[in-house]
Amino acid sequence: MNGKIKKTHGDKFKLKVALAALKGDRTIAELCQEFALVSSQIYKWKNQLEERGPDIFANKTKSSKQEFCAEKLYAIIGKLIAENELAAIKYER
d(CA 49, CA 15): 8
Summarize pLDDT for 57-85 with one digit per residue, the tens: 776 655 666 677 878 888 888 888 888 88
| pLDDT tens-digit readout, 11-22 | 999 999 999 999
CA distances from 43 to 40, 47, 48, 55 (A): 5, 6, 9, 19
